[in-house]
A and B are shown apart, each in its own frame.
Chain A
Amino acid sequence: MADTHDDATRRDFLHVASATVGLVGTAVAVWPFIDQMNPAADTLALASTELDISGIEVGMAITAVWRGKPVFVRQRTAEEIATAAADDKADLPDPQLDADRVQKTEWLILVGVCTHLGCVPLGQKSGDPKGDYGGWFCPCHGSHYDTSGRIRKGPAPLNLPVPPYAFTSDTTIKIG
């Protein structure tokens, strides 16, 4: 067939329009197949966890699960609170005041995932190494966190994050 004729028809408005509409339709049709990988409705519904903290004594900690991640809930001793506050002035890689990291000074609530590459730091149980600053120590690549969960030494760039939470009563918190 005559090529010149082909080229003339292919530039035709109708063909460009059909091709455009077809491509746009295909592009839109791709979205459901991508969006299905996002969290499903039941996963999102589990986005908050309620926790009874009445059993945690001073100086003790428990590990709760929130969105599949460990959450450290610790009732700090007066000494730990004092160190944390004093260290506000220390040379912090990720400067933050202890007061900004807690709602009630005795309760420290953190997402227990090392900000380096995602290991769970040690320091929850009484026998665990707590690192050079008396908080947590990540055994994977040696990050040290203080009694406010702030990064002090090691490869981790940021403090242990504080999850969104609220005290629903004196003895229960809702995380998420």
Chain B
Amino acid sequence: MFIIPSDIWEDMIDHARGHAPRECCGMLAGTDNRVTRQYRITNILAKLNEAELARFDQPKLSDLKQLAPEERADIAFQMDARELSQAQKDIRQRGIELQAFYHSHTMSPARPSATDITLAMEFEHCRAALNLPQPLHVIVSLEDRDHPVMRAYRIEASRATEVPVRRQ
């Protein structure tokens, strides 16, 4: 069970709504499966040039290239690397642990896409060397605008398994 306090839960939904139709992204940290800290991270996808988009898988890449740069964040996200490290540093200094990455899906359900899984696995291959705990991947779906849905997943061996999440 992964526990997200109500104020952070609400703020994640506000974050997602505030960026819709763009995807938002961020990080969650805490201890013992309970989140105590949330970090909003900038989705810099629109700032990536065509060569930099090459990190996305082929189907996603061709979709991205068909869109104007400012529209690309509607269907994907890329965290700002500096902000991510800044958050990691803050997490270390507070003596808490990185627990999850989160992002929004503004027009699709709260489950990881093929691209989400591929790119999470890339991180998974780097993570152990950095002594980071395995993060969950939380998705906030605004598919039904009036009823946002939040779900958490563990992604390993290219498979996503849902982890129950509770608002408390």
Report whether chain A binds chain B.
no
